[in-house]
Amino acid sequence: MVRDAGYALAAAALGLLIAWRLADGTARNLVQGWYVPILAATAVLLLAAAALTIPVALRDGLARWRRPSAAGAVAAAVIGLPLVIAAAFEPRPLASASLDLSAAAARQFSASASAADPARRNIYQWAYEFETADPAAIAGQPVDVIGFVFRREGDPPERFRVARFVVACCIADAQGFTLPVLWKDASTLANDQWVRVTGRVGIGPDGGPIVLAASVAPIEAPQNPYIYP
């Protein structure tokens, strides 16, 4: 049980912060969905501990509340500062600024990356096909994916990448996957704009696969911005 005011208030603050981020949905920008019940249970336990302790301390009078010391002040700062920062900044989904497309950024695929039905493949599964399949074997297959736009300065005006992050546990292990897209109006798209891309797989000038887009439609960002392998 929390034994003094500082710990009780810290538990209450952390519990309220977790509950707040669960309520507004931004917790899903940090962790995979199956963590949500765990976070909810954690918030309930923290708030329950604070609720049981603070009234007892108030009833017994100020003597129960420990006098602050230098060590206590440091502990309060260590506990309190992250809570203040976490409350001040709303968690946002990973976006194009976090993408690393360098050759050194090795990407790993799970067994779920291989999906036989092209019409049901997401960006992660298509990225696996683009990396492992013979381009001629997948050319002509239909593509229907959603993701955010990624364009770099100097990209051809008719080219962009549609991207999505894959999260196994939390954003600390996130990996970004992209598909090259050929579309005549690519230059009108803004980075991080969410779109639905439909078309077919073609073969680009470099011999690699590319999405030949028939339609690129702006959409609202999905409630869950990540793909879970």
Q: Residue 130: CB partners within 8 Å, gap ≥ 6?
A: 138, 179, 208, 209
**What pLDDT, on the 0 to 100 scale, is given for residue 2?**
38
**What pLDDT, on the 0 to 100 scale, is given for residue 103?**
53
Which residues sit opposite 149 in a β-bridge?
162
Q: Residue 165: CB partners within 8 Å, gap ≥ 6?
A: 93, 94, 98, 171, 174, 175, 176, 177, 225, 226, 227
What's the pLDDT tens digit per position in 69-113?
Answer: 565 566 666 767 777 777 777 888 889 988 887 654 556 776 667
What's the pLDDT tens digit per position in 36-66?
Answer: 899 999 989 988 888 887 777 666 655 555 5
Report which listed range, 21-25, 105-109, 212-216, 221-225, is most confident.
212-216
Q: What percentage of the chain exceeds 90 in pLDDT? A: 40
**What pLDDT, on the 0 to 100 scale, is given for residue 1?**
40
State the alpha helices, DSSP H only, in the chain.
Answer: 5-23, 36-60, 70-88, 123-132, 135-138
If you search the block for the tokens 């336990």, which residue do you land on? 45
SS3 170: strand
Q: Render the burial of 141-172: b for 16+ CB within 10 Å, e for the rest.
A: bebebbbbbbbeeeeeeebbbbbbbbbeeebe
